[in-house]
Each structure stands twice: as structure tokens, then as C-alpha cells.
């Protein structure tokens, strides 16, 4: 019986040693303010112009609509973790989700000249007049 309790104790220590490091290192840090922030591939000033020229999300609404979204720009230029910060209807959410999915890759943020995961906030305003 004493041998069994020693085995159980050793087993618990074994799990702590091997599971804990995997959980700690499986997720990379996401930077809010990297040394060089991520940017749209065609320049910061051109993102809303690009959206307006290439997508007709605003044509379906008669009034002014705005949506604020947050996402993570990945080191490879893709994005993940899209979150809608502002309250908007599901129709506009779906249209914006499609637009974000079809955007070109981003230039990732960097820390010590290495690409890192970083947050981006984008405010899209639809003025259909």
C-alpha cells in the first residue's frame, strides 16, 4: 500500500514537470505596442480606400454605420482572433468578416527586427451618400 501511494505521488510530479512547460510556451506573446507596429501592405492611409474600392459593404445601408474590430496580425502577415468591439447587426458583421478575410497580407509588427504577433484595431465607417 505504501508503494502505491509513492507511485501516485511520483505520477503527479511527472505530470507537473511535463505538462506545465507545454502550456507556458505553446502561446506566443501578443504585443499591444511592438517596437514597429504592424501596417497594411499598401500603407496605413490606404486601408480604408482599399476597402471602399474593392468591396461594396457600404452600398447596402442608407444611414452612416461604423464598426470597430480588433484582430491579431500574425508574424506571417495573416490575421487571427477577429473580435467586434462595437455593437453592430449580424448582417454588417458578416460583410466585414468577408472583407477582412480577403484583405492582402499585413506587414507584421516587429520587436528587435523579428516579426511578432501584435494587436490591430480598425474602425470602418460606411457613409453611403
As a whole number of angstroms, the distance between CA 42 and CA 73 comes to: 15
Q: Which of 80, 61, 66, 53 is nearest to 122 (CA)?
A: 66
pLDDT of residue 88: 85
d(CA 16, CA 58): 53
The set of cell numbers assigned to 19 is 505538462
Domain 28-126 classification at class level: alpha beta
Residues 6+ apart with CB under 8 A from 8: none
* SS3 state at 14: helix
pLDDT score of 112: 95
Per-residue pLDDT of the chain (129 residues; tens, 9 = 90+): 444 444 444 433 333 333 333 333 335 789 999 999 999 998 888 887 888 777 776 666 666 777 899 999 999 999 999 999 988 888 888 888 988 898 899 999 999 999 999 999 988 877 655
| Single pTM value for the model | 0.70
In the prediction, which pLDDT does 36 show?
96
pLDDT given at position 60: 63
Helix (H) or strand (E) holding 29: none
H helices of the chain, in order, are 2-25, 47-54, 90-102
How is the chain split into domains, by residue range?
Answer: 28-126
* pLDDT computed for residue 22 by the predictor: 34
Amino acid at each position: 500500500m505504501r508503494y502505491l501511494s509513492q507511485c501516485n505521488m511520483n505520477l503527479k510530479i511527472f505530470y507537473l514537470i511535463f505538462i506545465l512547460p507545454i502550456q507556458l510556451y505553446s502561446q506566443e506573446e501578443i504585443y499591444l505596442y511592438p517596437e514597429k507596429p504592424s501596417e497594411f501592405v499598401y500603407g496605413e492611409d490606404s486601408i480604408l480606400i482599399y476597402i471602399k474600392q474593392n468591396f461594396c459593404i457600404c452600398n447596402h445601408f442608407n444611414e452612416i454605420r461604423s464598426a470597430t474590430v480588433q484582430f491579431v496580425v500574425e508574424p506571417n502577415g495573416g490575421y487571427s482572433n477577429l473580435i467586434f468591439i462595437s455593437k453592430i447587426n449580424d448582417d454588417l458583421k458578416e460583410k466585414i468578416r468577408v472583407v477582412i478575410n480577403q484583405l492582402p497580407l499585413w506587414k507584421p509588427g516587429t520587436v528587435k527586427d523579428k516579426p511578432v504577433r501584435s494587436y490591430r484595431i480598425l474602425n470602418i465607417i460606411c457613409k453611403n451618400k
